Amino acid sequence: MYKSILLSVAKNDIREAALWYDQQKKGLGKKFTAIVRKKITAIRKNPFAYSIRYGSVRTSLLDVFPFMIHFTIDNGETIIVSAVLHTRRNPEIWAENRD
Q: Give me the phi and psi of 33, to 5 degrees please.
A: -65, -35
Per-residue pLDDT band at 99 (split at 50, 70, 90): very low
pLDDT at residue 37, rounded to an integer = 97
Per-residue pLDDT band at 96 (split at 50, 70, 90): low
User: Would you give the end-to-end CA distance of the chain in angstroms?
Assistant: 27
How crowded is residue 36: how many other Cβ atoms within 10 Å of its Cβ? 22
pLDDT at residue 8, rounded to an integer = 96
Question: Which domain, by its residues, includes 13?
Answer: 3-98
Q: How far apart are CA 82 and CA 8, in angstroms?
A: 8
pLDDT at residue 43, rounded to an integer = 97
Question: For residue 41, what is the domain's CATH number?
Answer: 3.30.2310.20
Count how many domains the chain has: 1
- What does the pLDDT look like over 42-93, one tens digit per residue? 999 999 999 999 889 999 999 999 999 999 999 888 999 999 999 886 656 5
pLDDT at residue 54, rounded to an integer = 85
Mean pLDDT, to the nearest integer, of 20-31?
Answer: 96
Closest CA to 36 of 84, 71, 72, 95: 84
